[in-house]
């Protein structure tokens, strides 16, 4: 092997995820994660091994590279895998091609033009329905017929590590008919996966479930921050607004959908039967283990959630098919959130709203404090990986600290 990859690394030779990095001596550019290192693709291009314009590797985002299509991006990935295995390849004895991840700064991997967030975990939707509506009829009538979603704010999506301020807005106190203004007291995380599209469509075109994976470049971890008290007051009649658009975080490395192929599994049985345009063949869910930790300022991290992407009722192919069935056009770099990923077990719930059950069951931290929601100074960290038959493909982490309101 050209470079040492630690055992159980998220960034094994089976992965080869793409991202944008910089160092003190290197401007923003494309790279791939390999173990504890980054392979600088802009430097590799100087070896005349790629037959495309090198300028796409020296840009601040991966959009132009992704837009070359999978015939190019998949070949780059497979070539790198071959070179890494061959001690006599073009990567051999060229330490200048590699950078330690610890010496690099990671940036937003894509310029997100549009962002859609779905609501596709039946366990999460049921839990929310029980808390806010009728426990006997937790799901709204349309939920099992369509992948419910809303259009979010692309401008406030930021990369892992960038701290954010507690949002302010209107909330309605208990037993009051008049709203008040101030910092949210119920800041929450939402454990999600995000997928990024790699092809454009024209206005009026639709993407089928059979073709959807051709349009999906890869996946990231996604933290869809929420202000539950603001959300409760504003969401009727048009849904999330200020409770969701103050910030969302993504992990910096995009794991290609091809790298996740070995980890496909069957999804939950969908009943009632879906309409023809939402039907699909084969396995479309992915067995990706997920966890969330909360680190109070100056103290140890406490793991609060273990979940899995395989729980999703609506899969990505169905989400993209539904998104475009009306002729909505999509573009390279668009981001789609899965919706909060919750399982049946209480420890698999993907939000504080569920884990602490709207504040009635506080979680204990290692420092002795309790959490109903996220406090100032807390850092929330999400991690995810898939593992099977000795192959591990991981996402690293998405982490962010909550600062006091401005």
Which value, in Å, is the radius of gyration of the alpha carbons in the chain?
21
Distance CA 228, CA 51 (A): 50
Distance CA 147, CA 51 (A): 40
Residues 260-283, buried b or exposed e (16+ Cβ, 10 A)? Answer: beebbeebeebeeebeeebebeee
Is 123 within 8 Å of 344 (Cβ atoms)?
yes
Closest Cα to residue 287, out of 269, 303, 306, 266? 266
Tell me, yes or no, if 124 is annotated catalytic: yes
Is 106 within 8 Å of 21 (Cβ atoms)?
yes
Residues 367-382, buried b or exposed e (16+ Cβ, 10 A)? Answer: eeeebbbbbeebbbbb
Q: CB-side exposure of 344: number of CA atoms within 13 Å?
A: 3
Give the residue ranges of DSSP H helices in 137-227.
Answer: 212-215
Q: Name the 3-class secondary structure at 318.
A: helix
Q: What angle do CA 126, 130, 135 make, to 5 degrees?
A: 105
The number of residues in the chain equals 406
Give the residue ranges of DSSP H helices in 237-346.
Answer: 316-324
Q: Given 124, 249, 322, 323, which residue is catalytic?
A: 124
User: Which are the catalytic amino acids?
Assistant: 124
């Amino acid at each position: 092997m050209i470079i040492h990859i630690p055992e159980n690394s998220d960034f094994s030779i089976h992965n080869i995820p793409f991202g944008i990095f910089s160092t003190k001596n290197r401007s923003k550019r494309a790279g791939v994660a390999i173990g504890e290192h980054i392979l600088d693709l802009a430097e590799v291009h100087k070896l005349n091994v790629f037959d495309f314009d090198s300028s796409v590797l020296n840009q601040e985002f991966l959009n132009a590279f992704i837009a070359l299509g999978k015939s190019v991006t998949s070949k780059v990935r497979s070539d790198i895998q071959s070179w890494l295995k061959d001690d006599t390849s073009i990567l051999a004895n060229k330490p200048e091609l590699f950078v330690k991840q610890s010496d690099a700064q990671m940036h937003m991997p894509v310029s997100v033009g549009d962002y859609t967030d779905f609501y596709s975990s039946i366990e999460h939707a049921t839990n929310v329905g029980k808390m806010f509506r009728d426990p006997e009829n937790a799901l709204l009538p349309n939920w099992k017929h369509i992948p419910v979603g809303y259009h979010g704010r692309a401008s406030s999506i930021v990369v892992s590590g960038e701290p954010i301020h507690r949002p302010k807005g209107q909330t309605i106190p208990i037993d009051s008919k008049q709203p008040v203004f101030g910092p949210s007291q119920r800041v929450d995380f939402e454990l999600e996966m995000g997928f990024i599209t790699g092809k454009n469509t024209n206005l009026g075109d639709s993407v089928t479930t059979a073709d959807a994976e051709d349009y999906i470049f890869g996946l990231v971890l996604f933290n869809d921050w929420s202000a539950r008290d603001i959300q409760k007051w504003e969401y009727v009649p048009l849904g999330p607004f200020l409770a969701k658009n103050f910030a969302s975080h993504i992990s910096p490395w995009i794991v290609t959908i091809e790298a996740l192929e070995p980890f496909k599994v069957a999804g939950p049985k969908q009943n009632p039967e879906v309409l023809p345009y939402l039907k699909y063949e084969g396995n479309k869910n992915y067995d990706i283990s997920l966890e969330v930790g909360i680190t109070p300022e100056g103290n140890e991290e406490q793991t609060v959630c273990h979940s899995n992407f395989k729980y999703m009722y609506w899969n990505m192919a169905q989400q993209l098919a539904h998104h475009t069935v009306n002729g909505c056009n999509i573009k390279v770099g668009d981001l789609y959130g899965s919706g909060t990923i919750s399982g049946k077990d209480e420890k698999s719930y993907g939000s504080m709203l569920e884990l602490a059950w709207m504040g009635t069951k506080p979680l204990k931290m290692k420092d002795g404090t309790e959490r109903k929601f996220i406090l100032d100074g807390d850092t929330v960290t999400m991690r995810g990986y898939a593992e099977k038959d000795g192959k591990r493909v991981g996402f690293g982490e998405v982490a962010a600290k909550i600062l006091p309101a401005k």
